Structure 1
Amino acid sequence: MYVSILEKVFDGGIFRNQVIELLKNIKIQDSSENIALFIMLPILLRSNNGIHFTWNQYEREIAELKAEMNINNIDLEISYIPMLFSHFYLKPFLLFYFLLITTPLLSIRIIKRKISVIHCRSYLPTLISCLLKKIFPIHVIFDLRGLYVSEMVTVNMLKNDSLSYNIWSKIERYLLELSDQIIILSDTFAEYFESKKIDVKEKTKLIYANVNIPYFQSERGEKVEYKKKLELEKYNIFLYSGSLGHWHSSDALLSVFKKIAFQISNPILVVLTQYRRDLILDSARKYGIDEKLLMIKYCKPEEMLEYLLAADFGIIPLTEEQLGDDFYWVARTMLSSKAEEYMAAGLPILFNQQIGGLQYINERTHVGIPFTFSDEINIRVNHYHTLSKNCKDYANRNFSVKSNAEKYMQLYKVN
């Protein structure tokens, strides 16, 4: 049974790529595999339009997901749990309340379905499952997705001198020690465990996040054709796609672009984001960058692909600020789905060398150009096509949902 709790299941493509497509591929490869997906969602959702019941807000999406799972012979169950506010479970006195509600729900499914393996997506499902290991003979797979404890500090959900931080640090250690298998998403994540003096090497397995490889690499036109379609044919395109804020700052992005813009003719920075346009323009003015060298857009996923295929380089800036040990570990263990998508599209990456997961790959398979903010960035490469090919080849070998499904299938087969 695959368990997800309090995730944004219907917002964006992450859950679909990393969960739905994975389970479908496992079922395709082994139709005898009995797979169930159990999702716990909050009863209420808050939006700009007020507070809504989840099943009303996502009525169509829930119906479509149920139909899709049924066609693929995957059992889907959705339960709704009362939430007081977002991430309320981080407060120690409310964590017990959360466990009191959710533990019986999972217990019933274990008994009813005679579950032997629970694939836990992140901390909450793993915490409940590890507690239930004391009652049921279950094999717990801890898929270590964010937010982990250091990430919680970085996004201001916890303070590292707080009681909640100390409690969640102890919970993290407990989950790592008690789970039967641990999945990490980058080669450098094992260093995080070593820093905590937790020896889990024997039960840790690296499985990168999934990318829809055919989507990025199906029969498509040449780069020049996409540039022409987007009316950008005269430009050398540097692309950033995704959110700006906690992990990656607009100041860092524009600082990097300033360093490379003078090296080549007709540069343009294309930013695909929901981040505030005025703040990005403030950063541009701060670094003396002409607005004519910027294109800031919010676009649908299918539109984003055209920009990826038209671009010459992807950028992953992180931030110029030094934010302490917790941020260091976030950066050191990071690979990012953004990097995986760039690579799948054959897009060489300009990346902050603090991003440990990507730096690890680049040291072994040249996929981009690492930089620091204190040094100049040399963008003049005479082996661009080799870089692009390296990106695609690495993505094909490591990021495809088909190969990941095979790896997870091996973990599910517990004697």
Structure 2
Amino acid sequence: MNVLYLTVLENTERNNIHENQIFGLRSTDINYKFLFFSPFFILNRTHLKINRNRFYKSVDCREFKIPIFSYNFYLHVILLPYLLLCVLPILIYCIVRYKPRIVHTRNLLSAFVAVIAKKISRNDFCIVSDPRSVYPEEGVIIKRWKYNRFNYRMWKKIEAWTFKNSDACLGLSELFKDYLMQYNRKSYFIPAVVNELNVFDGGQRKMLRKKLGIADNDCVLIYVGSIGLWHDVNTLIQIIKLFALKNKNFKIIALSSSLELKHKIMNNFGEKVLFCGTVPSIKVREYLTASDFGIIPGSAKCGYAYELLYETMIASKAEEYLCTGLPIIVNERIVNLKQYIERNNWGIVYSGEKKSFVGNWEYLEKERKEISSEALKLFSVNVVKMQLKELYKNLLNLNNEFVNK
């Protein structure tokens, strides 16, 4: 079975997401070809540079640099013709050459381009739209356009048209699947993948805590990843301060490149903080194993865009926490994750409005192993591979029924 996995305008430079969530799907049963259209110019808050990354050069992968800024991932609709001009000729050529039965698209831009390519080329393949998030609302949050103005309204129309013209849609959470169902009845919940090496190891935990200078009676909170948009640093600080009122013996581990986070967390908690910056994936697992709770802070910011985002997201870092047997402190606004936590007794729910916690604070080694085992049944890479294989077969009429677990 030939599957073309397509991404458009995602920055591939030093991107662990591609390594873990995309290349992790490689399988002996499915012949994947990975096709990346990445921005040529990397633009962030501090500098502009040319993307010279060649990390993804391999037999099953092709990467093409588009003369566009990474800033334009949230694309103003006036630039859509330019994007199509850059991508469509190469994409159609690759479709004709590889003859995929399935084109699996990651993000709304990729799905939109794939639908256009199918209509132009008249090739017979199925499109699996895997949008990963609510793109029009994210554009509002990141301040690329304003809610209910021209760009937002146009992207909502493009979103609806793209999903309706896809053969199947995938949601990273159950509530995201429900959101997609309004556009396409063939919508399924298939989560982001987590490496199966993320398993709780009690023996390693004791050794790591000793190595890090963590006492047996210290309760360790950990935060991993970027902060500032989906997760707010002030909300994170509020959660830790509320926790500090209940437990004086605590430590904080922060694995992030955010200077804002480093500054604020050090100013508020000083010697209780172990700020490690960005570390390799294997080291992340070690820090998670040594910790007692992972924090998913969300944000206190209001508005329809935030409400829809938090209703439909789970957060891949939450899945990684759970697969490592780490209970979670989650903001109640992140609805689907909150439901998992409450249903399975996997941590604590934080209410920003009530300034309170609800949940279990005591997790023995046995219980952490159970959390890890149950979470891996939902989020591990092998489970996701099996679900995708069944979905592909169903779309190609090779299987009578796809069971969405």
TM > 0.5: yes
- 1:272 correspondence with 2:255: yes
Please list the CA deviations of residues 79-121 of structure 1 after superposition, one character each: whole Å capped at 9, or x if unmatched. Answer: 2222156216722221111112211211111212222211111
Distance 1:380 1:175 in 2: 43
User: 1:229 Cα shift?
Assistant: 0.7
Q: CA RMSD in A?
A: 2.4
Please list the CA deviations of residues 197-220 of structure 1 after superposition, one character each: whole Å capped at 9, or x if unmatched. Answer: x242x3011111000122x22767
Matched-pair contact (CA < 8 Å) for 1:263–1:380: no
- 1:232 correspondence with 2:227: no
Distance 2:187 2:300 in 1: 32
Partner of 2:357: helix, strand, or coil? coil
Matched-pair contact (CA < 8 Å) for 1:141–1:179: yes
- 1:45 correspondence with 2:45: no
- 1:58 correspondence with 2:41: no
- 1:92 correspondence with 2:62: no
1:242 to 225, 234, 239: 225
Decide whether aligned partners of structure 1 residues 192 and 387 sit closer, same or farther in structure 2, where only a CA change above 3 A counts: farther
Any residues of structure 2 matched to 1:16-55 within 5 Å, and which? 16-22=19-25, 24=26, 26-27=27-28, 30=29, 33-46=30-43, 50-52=48-50, 54=51
Distance 1:306 1:175 in 2: 41
Please list the CA deviations of residues 343-382 of structure 1 after superposition, one character each: whole Å capped at 9, or x if unmatched. Answer: 0110100111111221222233221111101232257634
Decide whether aligned partners of structure 1 residues 273 and 182 sit closer, same or farther in structure 2, where only a CA change above 3 A counts: same
- 1:154 correspondence with 2:144: no
- 1:352 correspondence with 2:331: yes
Matched-pair contact (CA < 8 Å) for 1:348–1:387: no
Matched-pair contact (CA < 8 Å) for 2:36–2:62: yes
Matched-pair contact (CA < 8 Å) for 1:117–1:140: yes
2:177 to 190, 204, 208: 190
Distance 2:270 2:107 in 1: 41
- 1:325 correspondence with 2:304: yes
Matched-pair contact (CA < 8 Å) for 1:3–1:37: yes
Q: Which amino acid aligns with 2:165?
A: L
2:118 to 133, 142, 149: 133
TM-score by length of 2: 0.88
Partner of 2:144: helix, strand, or coil? coil
TM-score by length of 1: 0.86
User: 1:152 Cα shift?
Assistant: 1.6
Matched-pair contact (CA < 8 Å) for 1:260–1:379: no
Any residues of structure 2 matched to 1:109-148 within 5 Å, and which? 109-134=94-119, 135-146=122-133, 148=135
Please list the CA deviations of residues 373-408 of structure 1 after superposition, one character each: whole Å capped at 9, or x if unmatched. Answer: 123225763455565244212222011111111111
1:256 to 233, 239, 251: 239
1:366 to 302, 326, 345: 345
Partner of 1:205: helix, strand, or coil? strand
Distance 1:219 1:310 in 2: 9
Partner of 1:16: helix, strand, or coil? helix
Q: Which moved more, 1:378-387 or 1:243-252?
A: 378-387
Partner of 1:133: helix, strand, or coil? helix
Distance 2:141 2:13 in 1: 25
Alignment size in residue pairs: 386
1:388 to 353, 368, 376: 368
Distance 1:8 1:311 in 2: 31
Distance 1:358 1:384 in 2: 22
Distance 1:398 1:17 in 2: 16
Q: Which moved more, 1:230-239 or 1:252-261?
A: 230-239
Identity over aligned residues, as a percent? 28
- Could you tell me which runs of 5 or more consecutive residues in structure 2 were left unpaired when the two chains were aligned: 398-405
